Amino acid sequence: MKGKLYLIPTTLGDTGISEVIPRKVIDIINDLDYFIVENIRTARRYNRKVSETKNINDITFFELNKHTKPEDVASFLQPCFSGKSIGIISEAGNPGIADPGALAVNLAHKKNIDVVPLVGPSSILMALISSGMNGQNFAFNGYLPVKDNERIKKIQYLERKSKSENQSQIFMETPFRNTKMLNAVLQSCKNTTLLCIAADISLPTEFIKTKTIAEWKKQKPELNKRPAIFIIQA
Amino acid sequence: MKGKLYLIPTTLGDTGISEVIPRKVIDIINDLDYFIVENIRTARRYNRKVSETKNINDITFFELNKHTKPEDVASFLQPCFSGKSIGIISEAGNPGIADPGALAVNLAHKKNIDVVPLVGPSSILMALISSGMNGQNFAFNGYLPVKDNERIKKIQYLERKSKSENQSQIFMETPFRNTKMLNAVLQSCKNTTLLCIAADISLPTEFIKTKTIAEWKKQKPELNKRPAIFIIQA
C-alpha cells in the first residue's frame, strides 16, 4: 500500500489549536513522520504546538519554497512508495493556495499517490462567507501588482469585472503594504462599490466589515501589519 | 452588547463531527439558542448530532431558503439586539457559498452586527487545494446551465478563460446530474486540458484525481449521486 499525501492546515496566527483544527487532523499530524514544509522552523514549532509528546527529532522535513529546484520535489514523495504517508504544511492556513505546495500535489497525482485534504482555517473562504457578497460566483486573484499605477489599473479592472460578470473579486497584500493597498482601493473604486475588509481572521483582534467605498472613506481602519483579505463587488 | 452572527459549518455527509469540526465550533453551537437555517429538520438533526445533552426544544429556528421573503430576514436578526447571538447553518459545508445565507450576512453588516466565520469543511476549497492546479488565481462558477447546448458553451468559455487568464475554473452540479456533466466536459474540452474530479470529499469514499481529458476518456469514474466538484485548467 502506497502512503498518502495529506494537506495539513495550520492556524492563521496565535490561536489555540482546538479553535480552528478538528480532532482528527490533530491525530493525523501526530501520526506522520514526514512533512513537506515551506519553512522548517515554523513547521517544527507547529508540530510541537499540536503535540507535546511527539519527538520532533524523529520527523523528516523536506523544504519546498521558492528556492527549491522543481526536480527535487519528486524525491520528497519517495516515502509514499514504502507505505509512509507525508503531510504538506504551508506557513499559514491551507497548503496549495498562496504557496508552492501545489507543485508537490501536482506530482502526487502524476505518481498516483492519493491526495487527502484536511479541514482547517482558510482566510480567503472565511472572508468570502463573512462578506455577504456573491458566494455563487467569485474569483481569487492572489497578490496585486506592487507598482502604484499597475495596482490601480488592476483594481479598476477587477471592479469592472465584478460588475460585468457579477463576480466577487478577492485579493490580498503582504501585511506591511495593507495601508497602501487600502488607499489605492479607496482612490480607484466608485463610491457605490462594496468593499469587504477582513483582517486578523480567527484571531482575538478579528475585524470583518463590508461597507461602500464612500463609507470607508469616512473612517479607515488601521490595517498595518495585520494579515487581511480584500473583496470588492461593484 | 449586541449578539453576533456566527457562520456555522456542517459536515459534508455522514462523517463524525470531530473529523471536520474544531472543538471550539462545537462549543459555540452548544451555546447558541437561535439559528437561521436552510432546512429546519436537517438543522435540528445536526444540533442533535453535535450535542447529546442540548435540549432541541429550547432552540428557535428561522428558515431562510428560496421561499423566504427578503423582508422577513431582518426579523431573524432581532435576537442580536437583545444580546443573543445567532448561528447560521446551511445544508452542507459553509453557509454563504451556494445557499441563500449571504442575505442574512449582508443585512448583519448593514445593522452593524459582528459576523464571525467558523472553521469547517468547504468542498470547493478542499477540491482546489487537492487538485494541484493554480491556487493563486481561481474562480468558482457555481452551477452551470442545465440545457445541453448552453452547458457546453459555458464549459468551453471556462476552458478558454482558464487559459487566457491562467485561472483554475471550479464548478459543480447536483449529484444526480454528475454523469451528464462529466460527459459534457469530456466532450467539450481539449484532450490536453486538465480536469480535477473531487467526489465525496471528507467521506470514506472520497475520490480526488487530476488527469488530462484524454486520460479521463479512457476510464470514467462513477459519479452518480456523489456530491462532486469539477475543476478545469487548460
Express the helix, strand and coil content of chain B in percent, nearest 5 each: 40, 20, 40
**Complete edge-to-edge strand list for the sheet that includes strand B115-117:** B60-63, B34-37, B86-89, B5-8, B115-117
Q: Mean of the pLDDT values across residues B208-234?
A: 96
pLDDT for position A198: 98
Instruction: State yes or no: pLDDT of B212 exceeds 90.
Output: yes
pLDDT for position A181: 96
Mean pLDDT for back-to-back runs of 10 residues, chain A (234 residues): 95 93 95 94 92 86 90 94 95 81 92 96 96 94 95 97 97 94 97 98 97 97 95 97
- Cβ contacts of A105 on chain B, cutoff 8 Å: 129-132
Chain A contacts in chain B segment 32-71 (CB below 8 A):
none
Interface test mutation site (partner A, options B129, B165, B169, max chain A beta carbons within 10 A):
B129
| Record: contact A135-B18, CB cut-off 8 A | no
pLDDT-based confidence at residue B221 (cuts at 50, 70, 90): very high
Q: Mean of the pLDDT values across residues B186-213?
A: 97
pLDDT-based confidence at residue B86 (cuts at 50, 70, 90): very high
pLDDT in tens, B94-116: 888 867 788 899 999 999 999 99
User: What's the grid cell of residue A143?
Assistant: 497578490
Domains in chain B: boundaries: 5-117, 123-233
pLDDT-based confidence at residue B70 (cuts at 50, 70, 90): confident
* A123-233 homologous superfamily: Tetrapyrrole methylase, C-terminal domain (3.30.950.10)
pLDDT for position B40: 93
pLDDT for position B155: 98
pLDDT for position B96: 83
Asked if B130 is an interface residue toward chain A (Cβ–Cβ < 8 A), one would say yes
pLDDT for position A10: 94
A108, A109, A122 ranked by CB distance to B125: nearest: A122
Q: Mean of the pLDDT values across residues B200-216?
A: 97
Q: Which residue has the cell 506591511?
A: A176
pLDDT in tens, B16-64: 999 999 999 999 999 999 999 999 999 999 999 998 788 888 899 999 9
Q: What is the mean pLDDT of chain B?
A: 94
Asked if B128 is an interface residue toward chain A (Cβ–Cβ < 8 A), one would say yes
| Record: contact A96-B24, CB cut-off 8 A | no
Give the CATH class of B5-117.
alpha beta
pLDDT in tens, B108-156: 999 999 999 999 999 999 999 999 998 999 999 999 999 999 999 999 9
